[in-house]
């Protein structure tokens, strides 16, 4: 699903600007992003094998079904292919792809185990997907709207994922925000981020950029859902609930993409 969402984000990043032309650029950008996202998943699993032995022992690497060296080589191959494809879009696209690949590698290797920096990097890269799409069609400004939404959405979800993985992170020596400051402060930070996101999602309608189809979809499909997530977050201290909320948020990203599509079509 991460790969599909990454590719869809590129397409939306282009379409939100009002065009999908040149279409070949959009296709190449989606393909490039899909490869880089898949590489990021592989390299993350490689560096997280000790954590996953505690939190997710059923995955291919901790279960022994896949050799770590193979996962590392596969990740580097996909990073290289993703950057190579981007060269045929625009020089700026190639630069973004290279920067994104380096940041994704550094995130899995180092930033993920730091307080908030890893969360910030992942959120920035998620937002950069929309920018990548806008650059592909030579229109960047409108793509910054969903990019801003994506940054806040992913920032909150990433801290929630850290909350879920506190036990394994402590054993691995990862100093994430929940590990350093505790679950209560992590929940408060997630709540503040999601409340800020709810306020920000109304701005495109208030500014006249998107119309009512966007507004009603984002209000009931995203904002109301975020309120529900916040309520469940404070009612429970269970890893199972945190994981369920994280999965729900991942699925709700598609609703957010739909809201932007409707906003564009109503312009």
Q: Is residue 115 within 8 Å of residue 180, measured between CB atoms?
A: yes
Looking at the structure of the chain, the number of domains it has is 1
Q: Is residue 164 within 8 Å of residue 56, measured between CB atoms?
A: no
**Helix residue spans in 59-116 (DSSP H):** 60-63, 68-86, 91-109
- Interatomic CA distance for residues 91 and 75, integer angstroms: 23
Q: How far is CA 64 from CA 70, 139, 181, in A?
A: 12, 46, 34
Model pLDDT, residue 94:
95
- Interatomic CA distance for residues 188 and 230, integer angstroms: 9
Place of tokens 């209000």: 219
Note the Cα 46 to chain centre separation in Å: 19
Q: List per-residue pLDDT tens for the chain, 267 residues long.
A: 677 777 887 887 888 777 788 899 999 999 999 999 989 888 887 777 666 566 665 666 655 566 667 778 888 899 999 999 999 999 999 999 999 999 999 988 888 777 788 889 889 988 898 899 999 998 888 788 889 999 999 999 999 988 887 777 776 667 788 888 888 999 999 999 999 999 999 999 988 888 889 999 999 999 999 999 999 999 888 888 888 898 889 888 888 888 887 887 766
Give residue 99's domain range.
2-265
Model pLDDT, residue 50:
64
What is the DSSP code (8-state) at residue 30? H
Give the domain CATH number at 6.
1.10.357.140
Q: How far is CA 81 from CA 33, 62, 129, 186, in A?
A: 10, 26, 17, 37
Model pLDDT, residue 126:
84
């Amino acid at each position: 699903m991460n790969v599909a969402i990454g590719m869809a984000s590129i397409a939306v990043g282009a379409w939100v600007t009002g065009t999908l032309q040149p279409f070949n650029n959009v296709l190449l950008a989606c393909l490039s992003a899909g490869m880089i996202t898949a590489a990021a998943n592989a390299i993350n699993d490689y560096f997280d094998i000790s954590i996953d032995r505690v939190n997710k022992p059923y995955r291919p690497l901790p279960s022994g079904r896949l050799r770590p060296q193979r996962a590392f080589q596969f990740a580097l191959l996909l990073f290289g292919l993703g950057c190579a494809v981007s060269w045929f879009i625009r020089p700026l696209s190639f630069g973004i792809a290279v920067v994104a690949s380096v940041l994704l590698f550094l995130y899995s290797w180092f930033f993920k185990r730091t307080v908030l920096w890893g969360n910030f990097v992942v959120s920035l890269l998620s937002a950069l997907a929309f920018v990548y799409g806008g650059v592909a069609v030579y229109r960047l400004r409108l793509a910054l709207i969903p990019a801003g939404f994506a940054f806040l959405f992913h920032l909150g979800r990433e801290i929630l994922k850290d909350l879920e993985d506190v036990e394994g992170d402590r054993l691995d020596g990862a100093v994430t925000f929940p590990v350093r400051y505790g679950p209560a402060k992590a929940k408060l930070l997630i709540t503040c981020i999601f409340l800020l996101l709810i306020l920000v999602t109304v701005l495109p309608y208030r500014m006249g950029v998107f119309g009512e189809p966007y507004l009603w979809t984002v209000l009931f499909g995203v904002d109301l859902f975020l309120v529900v997530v916040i309520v469940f977050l404070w009612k429970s201290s269970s890893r199972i609930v945190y994981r369920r909320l994280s999965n729900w948020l991942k699925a709700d990203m598609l609703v957010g993409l739909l809201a932007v599509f409707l906003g564009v079509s109503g312009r």
